[in-house]
Amino acid sequence: MSETLFTAAKACLDACEADEKVACTQAAVEAWRAGELAGDEKSVPEPVGQPGRPLALKLVSPRDLPKRRPTTPEGRAVLFHALAHIEFNAINLAWDAAYRFRGMPRAFYDDWVRVAGEEAYHFTLLRDHLRGLGHVYGDFPGHNGLWEMAGKTAHDPLIRMALVPRCLEARGLDVTPGIKARLLEAGDAEGAALLDIILRDEIGHVAIGDHWFRFLCADRDLEPESTFRALIDEYMKSPLQGPFHREARRQAGFSEAELAYLEGSG
């Protein structure tokens, strides 16, 4: 075997067009599960750069994004484009975790390869719905906040697990019920049903981040909850905003003390 998990992950990161990234991801997931990708613990990851993205996609500041109003066809397209953009970034984040952090247990790579495949599935669901609304991925601008945090946490898997799955991706658990309700009010039951699929899987993805955060805390003899608070204080520009989806976060591994802290009462 000449190809490794790391070269396969890098190829998926570098893929630009959406169909190319999805196809590359599906092939890499299948190859990993079939035992066709060799290990290569001696190789060193390249410095974090920008992952591949469609040439048509313009990145802007969050304040310059178009409004997401599900009550109009155009606003609903903007919303689904934004959701698709999150999932496209999530494919890259999963592959970067697998590519970036060497010397972890085999189960770590199993988990992040699985996440990459599921994020690609989510992206295709949202992209196809977006097409039904008369648009394609790249028609509207996006922002680069998720990937910027990947760069800030590239030096340490513990910090990555704390701040990407347990902060940024967990925020998706919080906002999904409200988005679903607005879609149902707008008569888009099909789009709302997609969010049920994504929420189910995303709870699992945040739980994976939670597991490896706690694993690394134990390995370094760190107390997880105080470590999490310290990392939020150090890396996040502002406190995490609620409301929080308590039940989804519980399922993903958050303790009652952490939920109380996030809500400002801890």
Q: How far apart are CA 181 and CA 173, in angstroms?
A: 14
**Could you report the per-residue pLDDT of 89-142, keeping only the tens digit for each?**
999 999 999 999 999 999 999 999 999 999 999 999 999 999 999 999 999 999
Q: Rounded to an integer, what distance in angstroms lies between the CA atom of residue 91 and that of residue 93?
A: 6
Specify the pLDDT at position 1.
Answer: 43
DSSP string for residues in 90-122: HHHHHHHHHHH--S--HHHHHHHHHHHHHHHHH
How far, in Å, CA of 256 to CA of 254, rounded? Answer: 7
pLDDT of 20 higher than 90: yes
The fold adopted by the segment(s) 5-38+55-262 is Ferritin (1.20.1260)
Does the predicted model carry a pTM greater than 0.75? yes
Region 43-59: mean pLDDT is 88
Q: What is the pLDDT of residue 123?
A: 98
Q: What is the pLDDT of residue 266?
A: 45
Return the pLDDT at 81: 97
5 versus 237: the higher-pLDDT residue is: 5
Q: Identify the band that residue 157 occupies on the pLDDT scale cut at 50, 70 and 90.
A: very high
The type of residue at 200 is R
% of the chain residues with pLDDT over 70: 97
- Please report which residue ranges of the chain form alpha helices under DSSP H: 5-14, 18-33, 73-100, 106-132, 145-152, 157-163, 170-185, 189-219, 224-235, 246-251, 256-262
Q: Can you tell me the mean pLDDT for 153-162?
A: 96
| pLDDT (0 to 100) of residue 41 | 67
Distance CA 18, CA 105 (A): 30
Phi/psi at 38 (nearest 5 deg)?
-75, 160
Q: Which two tokens stand for residue 221?
A: 């003899």
